[in-house]
Amino acid sequence: MHLSTFKDLGLSEHILETLSANGFEKPTPIQAQAIPLVLKGHDLIGLAQTGTGKTAAFGLPMIEKLVADGKRPDPRNIRALVLAPTRELVNQIAANLKLFVKKSPLKIGVVVGGVSINKQTEQLARGVDILVATPGRLLDLINRKAVTLTQGRYLVLDEADQMLDLGFIHDLRKISKLVPKNRQTLLFSATMPKLIAELAGEYLTDPVKVQVTPPGKAADKVEQYVHFVPGKDLKTVILKKTLTENPDGLSLIFSRTKHGAEKLMKHLDHVGFKAASIHGNKSQGQRERALKSFRDGEIRVLVATDVAARGIDIPGVTHVYNYDLPEVPDAYVHRIGRTARAGRDGIAIAFCAPDEIRLLRDIEKLMGINIAVASGEAPADQARPSKARGGRGNGNGNGQHRGNGGGGQRQEARPRRERPARQSALAPSSFAGDDLLRDDRPQKTEHRGQRPAGQAHAEGRSEGNRNHEPKKHHGRPGQKPGEWRNKGPRPEGQAGERREGGQGGMRRGAGGGNRGQQG
């Protein structure tokens, strides 16, 4: 049966009134599938990207059952626990849950690092119905005996794959053992690596799996492009040009390191773009202010690391830039999922230096597509074995996900009819010759020395293409600039930088140790 309204899902009148008052009209696919199952008491595995309505999918039925139960938690205890990998995602989940409980006596608690632990201890002393927390700070409070989980009836693991990527597996195992075994457990993840399957088998009882977007697949409305470049200098040139050509959208730029994110943000701000950054070296207050300014449109460009950007749900994001390709292919799926929200179109643009070719191939293998080339060429010895198709959505591949490294076999593409030419207002323009190095945006004063001899080639200039104006077809570049096959200088900022997040990015012993920015 097709469930087209929240009333069809079996929610009570007071929940329906709250939803209606806040503009929630129809359930999303993940909500339509998950809510009835959670109301019936099933353990659940939900596979869906952030921004698909997961919080309501687990929050609404959980609130419904807690209200019907009519009990109150004892001091320093909780009735439901929601775990998420980052402060931003915890705060976002809590804000949504507080919206849903307005007409109920339920109390929502928030526990994250970066803020006073004493205030959190005071909050927990009174007991909370639903506690939303990062694993690290929660364990700190448990060790201080500020909270116990003995009355927990519900355990929710949101963005479980990211929690594993950040090294929280030991923390999750410790916390799970402290929640009564007769609990109801709900696990949500954008991807389904082997560790997630093992975790589900260990802590869920006969779970039902619901799936919206297949793991490793991007939203259908995301157009994807890649620029092959010899190094970071040309990445920055193309980035600035594309930002200039799309001044009205919100652009989210991903850097692999905290240092790289801050350096890029400062450069963009210096040349006239309204930009901010979020990463692990920023305080909680700084990160919240940057996100608010970005959400409100006061700044148009946000530079972020994977860890800090996890949980960002801003429908107005039109462009996602992979300034550095992620080392874990799943992270690419998470990144580009920041755009094409709420039925909108979106553009995902990646930059690929010679030392990132392997990362690009792993991403394409996971997603089962060849990403459309916007400019440049891969070195001849690392070219694709077959012709690239790329473009919007998931292509025609059938990549099967195996752990964090991707996997599966790509099926042969079926021939398809040519579509009429279409100009995409969001798509990257072509780059050729001198036009590639020109920054059309009015800039603040910037002192530049004379270009050393031979640098033009390292920046990707092509003398042969200098006067050629390429045509566009379906928003994609029609003519590549000249080939680059000689590696340029080593990309800046890679040697000696600490990378934030990713597999093994935050190493800790079983005892907790340094919990980094999540603590």
Average pLDDT of the segment spanning 336-345: 78
Compute the Cα dihedral for 37, 42, 46, 52 and give only its sign.
Answer: positive
Q: What is the pLDDT of residues 391-404, one digit of tens each?
A: 444 443 333 333 33
Which residue type sits at 33? Q
Delimit the domains of the chain by residue range: 7-213, 222-411+420-440+456-477
Q: Which parts of 357-502 fold into alpha helices (H)?
A: 357-367, 455-458
Give residue 191's pLDDT band: very low, low, confident or very high (50, 70, 90): confident
pLDDT of residue 209: 95
Q: What is the pLDDT of residues 272-298, one digit of tens each?
A: 999 999 998 988 889 889 999 999 999
- 222-411+420-440+456-477: CATH number: 3.40.50.300
Q: What is the pLDDT of residues 484-519, one digit of tens each?
A: 434 444 444 444 444 444 443 343 333 444 444 444
Strands (E), 310-431: 317-322, 346-352, 372-375, 391-392
Q: Do domains 7-213 and 222-411+420-440+456-477 have the same CATH topology?
A: yes
Identify which of 321, 350, 335, 312 has the alpha carbon closest to the alpha carbon of residue 246: 321
pLDDT of residue 312: 73
3-state secondary structure of 361: helix
Q: CA-CA distance, 505 to 434, in Å (whole number)?
A: 39
Average pLDDT of the segment spanning 3-18: 89
pLDDT of residue 487: 41
Whether pLDDT at 384 is above 90: no
Whether pLDDT at 99 is above 80: yes
Strands 472-473 and 476-477, by their bridges, are antiparallel
Compute the Cα dihedral for 145, 150, 151, 154 and give only its sign.
Answer: positive
Average pLDDT of the segment spanning 256-278: 96
pLDDT of residue 3: 58
Both tokens of 394, joined, read 């998931």
pLDDT of residue 95: 94
Strands 301-304 and 250-254, by their bridges, are parallel
Whether pLDDT at 137 is above 60: yes
Q: What is the pLDDT of residues 157-184, one digit of tens each?
A: 999 988 988 889 999 999 999 999 999 9
Whether pLDDT at 94 is above 90: yes
Three-state SS annotation for 415-444: CCCCCCCCCCCCCCCCCCHHHHHCCCCCCC
Q: What is the pLDDT of residues 26-83, one digit of tens each?
A: 999 999 999 999 999 999 999 987 778 899 999 999 999 999 998 999 999 999 999 9
Q: What is the pLDDT of residues 212-248, one digit of tens each?
A: 866 556 566 799 999 999 988 999 999 999 999 999 8
Which residues lie closer than 8 Å to 190 by C-beta, 6 or more apart? 47, 48, 49, 50, 159, 161, 162, 213, 215, 330, 333, 334, 337
pLDDT, greater one: 517 or 377: 377
pLDDT of residue 193: 81
Three-state SS annotation for 169-193: HHHHHHHHHHCCCCCEEEEEECCCC
pLDDT of residue 45: 96
Give residue 367's pLDDT band: very low, low, confident or very high (50, 70, 90): confident
Average pLDDT of the segment spanning 176-199: 91
Average pLDDT, the chain: 78
CATH class of segment(s) 7-213: alpha beta
Average pLDDT of the segment spanning 319-337: 91
pLDDT of residue 114: 84
Q: How many Å is the Cα radius of gyration of the chain?
A: 24
pLDDT of residue 284: 81
pTM: 0.63
CB 395 within 8 A of CB 370: yes
pLDDT of residue 311: 67
CB 146 within 8 A of CB 76: yes
Average pLDDT of the segment spanning 143-148: 97
Q: What is the pLDDT of residues 432-476, one digit of tens each?
A: 333 334 444 444 444 444 444 444 343 333 333 334 343 343 334
